[in-house]
Amino acid sequence: MEIKRGFASDNNSGVHPAILEAMSRVNAGHEIAYGDDKYTEAVSEKLKAIFGKETGVYFVFIGTAANVLGLSALTQSYNAVICPESAHINIDECGAPEKFTGCKFLSVATPDGKLTVDLIKQHMHGFGFEHHSQPKVISITQSTELGTLYSIHEIKTIADYAHEHDMYLHMDGARISNAAVALNEGFYEMTGGAGVDVLSFGGTKNGMMYGEAVIFFNKDLCSDFKYRRKQGMQLASKMRYISAQFDAFLENDLWKHNARHANAMAQNLYTAVKDIPGVKITRPVEANAVFAIIPKEVIPKLQEAFFFYVWDEDTSEVRWMCSFDTTEEDIEEFSALLRKLL
């Protein structure tokens, strides 16, 4: 098999052709570097039309940077950020959040990757006590790293709680398109409209090549963000190629088309494998991820044919991510092989 496919991650996929084309289209002539170009201006306006006129929009290269720089705008180094144990900022960014912000990250074990006010409370103490990192931000991920979703009501409840305590709500939206499709809600309704203060708006896991937007719903929070971005090594010189991607991503609801497909494929996969004896689905399949426990000895054989990751070695839980380019054939072949192996 020349090109191996699989369910390892939605960023193992390539780039959607419409996005590649858009990148070519902006390739003629000179543009002022570092974002002062007409493409960046235009797509920023499109994003402001979605998220609000008074929104601050800043492109960076990757989701880790969107999270870390967004959080740095909300904190001083003596602050703490409360997040789920499974959060990308907690386990998948190699300490970039700690190094860049200096903050303490207070994690909470969750059954499903989702914070609740009750879960948050365990870290809500020590305010005003100088020996204690001062909690300032609550960070949630939509959809979560465990493939689950916050309802808008749940987001609002956390946002209200944060604001009552003079704290901010940050959202890691690396898979926000999948969430929007699954909830059948607009981007704004799940974010600024629900009280989110800063959003990492991602596209790479949904068909883009690179580039992420940091969206500030309160402009006071980003008056100096251009310096943070530059010092954070995230200012692209030829920014028009990020802007072109976001433009194509938003055009004709490409984001929705891609995410809807990925989510549907996850449902198909779920349906195809859930009743295979030896397979135990471990999380609700709400977006584009399927988590399952399968017998340990089957895993390497399955991985010979399809990429995917073991989520928890101890319990033999695996993660299967669907993507904008997952095909029905992928699922048929994969589930057939799994059935055969079990």
Show contacts with a second copy in window 202-241 (CB under 8 A). Answer: 204, 209-210, 224, 226-238, 241
The three state secondary structure string of 259-321 is HHHHHHHHHHHHHHHCCCCCCEECCCCCCCEEEEECCCCHHHHHHHHCECEEEECCCCEEEEE
Shortest distance (Å) from residue 256 CB to a second copy:
21
Does the footprint of a second copy cover residue 64 (CB under 8 A)? yes
Nearer to a second copy, 122 or 151 (CB): 122
Chosen residue from 31, 172, 197, 286 binding a second copy by CB under 8 A:
31
Residue 280, burial from CB neighbour count under 10 angstroms (0-12, 13-18, 19+):
middle
Does the footprint of a second copy cover residue 105 (CB under 8 A)? yes
- The tally of CA atoms less than 13 A away on the side-chain side of residue 4 is 12
Chain-centroid distance of CA 114 in Å reads: 14
Chosen residue from 53, 111, 118, 125 binding a second copy by CB under 8 A:
125
- Pair of tokens at residue 60: 């960076």
Nearer to a second copy, 297 or 313 (CB): 313
Residues 283 to 322 in contact with a second copy, rule: CB under 8 A: 307, 313
Chosen residue from 40, 110, 133, 178 binding a second copy by CB under 8 A:
133
- The tally of CA atoms less than 13 A away on the side-chain side of residue 47 is 30
- Pair of tokens at residue 240: 């028009």
Shortest distance (Å) from residue 110 CB to a second copy:
15
Nearer to a second copy, 11 or 267 (CB): 11
Chosen residue from 42, 45, 49, 77 binding a second copy by CB under 8 A:
77
Chosen residue from 52, 70, 74, 93 binding a second copy by CB under 8 A:
93
Contact between residue 71 and residue 83 where contact means Cβ atoms under 8 Å apart: no
Shortest distance (Å) from residue 307 CB to a second copy:
6
Rama region for 286: left / alpha / beta (φ>0; ψ in -120 to 50; rest): alpha
Chosen residue from 53, 118, 131, 220 binding a second copy by CB under 8 A:
131
Shortest distance (Å) from residue 24 CB to a second copy:
6
State the virtual CA torsion across 91, 94, 97, 102 in degrees, nearest 10. Answer: 120
Give me the sheet containing 79-84, strands edge to edge: 56-60, 212-216, 198-202, 168-173, 134-141, 79-84, 104-108
Among 140, 243, 256, 277, which Cα is nearest to 198's? 140
Shortest distance (Å) from residue 151 CB to a second copy:
29
Does the footprint of a second copy cover residue 269 (CB under 8 A)? no
Chosen residue from 96, 264, 281, 299 binding a second copy by CB under 8 A:
96
Near a second copy by CB under 8 A, which window of 92-100, 145-153, 176-184, 262-270?
92-100
Does the footprint of a second copy cover residue 28 (CB under 8 A)? yes
Residues 134 to 193 in contact with a second copy, rule: CB under 8 A: 134
Does the footprint of a second copy cover residue 124 (CB under 8 A)? no
Residue 327 host element (H or E) = none
